[in-house]
Structure 1
Amino acid sequence: MPSRTDRPVFKIGCIANFNDLKDHMTLIKAVELLVKHEPDLSLIVSFVGSGPTLVSCRDYISRHQLNRYFEFVSEMAHESLPSYFNTLNLFVLPSYFEGFGCVYTEAAACGVPFIGCVSQGYSEYIPDDDSDKWLIKPHDYKALALLIDRQIKSPAAQTLKHTYDINILVRYYLSYLAEQLNS
């Protein structure tokens, strides 16, 4: 299996139910902007999910002749996610109302950098000095297009400022609970 870096197609993944809050349209418009400037861009966005805005997203893609840049997968077994993430160069979910979002840490655990929106739970994991590399304002498809383009042309590793290792987090949580019970 080819590694992420020697693949001819740059693959972006997005796993989320299709609804307004997840804002798939921002990613679609970012890709539209990218391919408008570079029509032969070797790029595919893989959407995994279903929901009420799926039809409008598909319609937009079709009306704007972007079909070759997108694929849709309705469901995926959770145990298949590591294999899926390992096919990606980048994970993007421009959700503007997200408590934490496990899919971001699942991507990170597979070594896949992610892009999301500022002021969401997962944004606390991005070092302040790196926020302009990995976070956008809600609905800002132009900034997202620039970040994707940068990652295509000059792939960067992502560092996080907190651990997401469940074993460490559970230990911290149990310690916190013990302190609260003893106070």
Structure 2
Amino acid sequence: MKAVLGPYPPPYAGTELVVREEFEELGRDGFLIGTSIIPVELDDRILIRRSRFVINGPALIYQIMRRRRQIDSISAHFATTFGYVARIAKILFDIPYTVTCHGTDALINLKRKPHSYFTRKALQGADTVYAVSESVKDSLLIGGVPESKIELVHRKIGKAFSGKKVKRKNQVIFVGSVHHIKGLDTLLTAFAEFSKKNTNFSLKIVGRIADPHYLKLLKNLSEELRISEKVHFVGEMPHDHLPRYLNESKLFVMPSRSEGYGRALDEALSCGLPAVATNVGGLPEVAKGRNCILVEPELPGQMANAMQRALKGREHK
């Protein structure tokens, strides 16, 4: 039996959703060991309460030990943490594993200490390293992972993410965690400029609050920019609620400073939204040949201009 090892919804972030999808695809041939905001123990899964890695790591190894006779292999998601746990399980229980790199683990953690130690150990012990984008693959190659060991893997977007004939609101939407790496401060500044010509537009920010201090900074910034009444922090929601929010919007923006793949961008484009995204990580791959304007990160003026162009392009169709 294959054990899927990783984070599980909620929260409904990219890695969590991929873990859920792989587990569901395995059906009776799979077992899940992971972390979640909602802990649970069932016949086919064990989820411990999400906490710091120093706490979760040993707890996950213990759960693998309990079921080591059932587990033939492990599919770990996110090298720095769950991949490292799989590495320890291989040493202790002789269980082979693969690891999927989703972005930060390859793009950032391979270059910073102490994260680089755990990430490299996880990659060294894996039979196969899966990369979610060419950008992630390139980072792995630079980090010393043999090309013969790396495989690209792309998840298909669900059928729910398609264009629906609904009345669209004068609304710009972002989907993702509220964290500095997502570049929301740049988006707020760009939206303030965009609002000068589009006074009746609002900005909807959908996603979990990963950093409360950053949220406070964003709210203060929206006050300074005098757009606080137009900016709505919706918070996290079940993934199957997202298509409705996307389809009722007129423009999607992804202002990330770093991004492994960009699932939210893929979903928005699949719903038929014009989009603006930063030219980082896997986003250019997602945007290629689709209705998306790429801009450089942390340039709000360039982003505001692109937002205006994308909106006009939609109106002319």
Shift of 1:59: 1.1
2:299 is aligned to: 140
Shift of 1:94: 0.6
- Which amino acid in structure 2 is aligned with residue 29 of structure 1? T
Structure number having the greater helix percentage:
1
Shift of 1:2: 4.7
| Runs of at least 4 residues off by over 6 Å | none
Shift of 1:122: 2.3
- Which amino acid in structure 2 is aligned with residue 18 of structure 1? V
1:46 is aligned to: 204
2:178 is aligned to: 18
Shift of 1:152: 2.8
Which structure 1 residue ranges, 5 or more long, are not aligned? 158-183
> CA offsets, 1:148-183, max 9 Å, x none?
1122333279xxxxxxxxxxxxxxxxxxxxxxxxxx
Specify whether residues 121 and 33 from structure 1 end up closer, same or farther in structure 2 by C-alpha distance, changes over 3 A only: same
How is 1:99-178 mapped onto 2 (pairs within 5 angstroms)? 99-127=260-288, 134-155=293-314
Which structure 2 residue ranges, 5 or more long, are not aligned? 1-164
Shift of 1:29: 0.4
Specify whether residues 148 and 116 from structure 1 end up closer, same or farther in structure 2 by C-alpha distance, changes over 3 A only: same
What SS does structure 2 have at the residue aligned with 1:111? coil
Alignment match of 1:68 (pick from 229, 234, 239)? 229
Structure number having the greater strand percentage:
2
CA distance in 1 between counterparts of 2:236 and 2:288 reads 32
- Which amino acid in structure 2 is aligned with residue 46 of structure 1? K
Shift of 1:34: 2.5
Q: Is the 8 A contact 2:173 2:249 kept in 1?
A: yes
What TM-score results when the alignment is normalised by the length of structure 2?
Answer: 0.43
CA distance in 1 between counterparts of 2:246 and 2:193 reads 25
- Which amino acid in structure 2 is aligned with residue 123 of structure 1? P
- Which amino acid in structure 2 is aligned with residue 68 of structure 1? E
Specify whether residues 65 and 101 from structure 1 end up closer, same or farther in structure 2 by C-alpha distance, changes over 3 A only: same
CA distance in 1 between counterparts of 2:281 and 2:315 reads 22
- Which amino acid in structure 1 is aligned with residue 293 of structure 2? W
1:173 is aligned to: none
2:132 is aligned to: none
1:179 is aligned to: none
Aligned length: 149
- Aligned-residue Cα RMSD (Å) equals 2.3
How is 1:61-100 mapped onto 2 (pairs within 5 angstroms)? 61-100=222-261
Specify whether residues 24 and 110 from structure 1 end up closer, same or farther in structure 2 by C-alpha distance, changes over 3 A only: same
What SS does structure 1 have at the residue aligned with 2:187? helix
CA distance in 2 between counterparts of 1:126 and 1:103 reads 12
- Which amino acid in structure 1 is aligned with residue 174 of structure 2? C
> CA offsets, 1:18-50, max 9 Å, x none?
111101011100111223x43x62111100121
Specify whether residues 154 and 111 from structure 1 end up closer, same or farther in structure 2 by C-alpha distance, changes over 3 A only: closer
1:3 and 2:3 aligned: no
- Which amino acid in structure 2 is aligned with residue 34 of structure 1? F
What TM-score results when the alignment is normalised by the length of structure 1?
Answer: 0.72
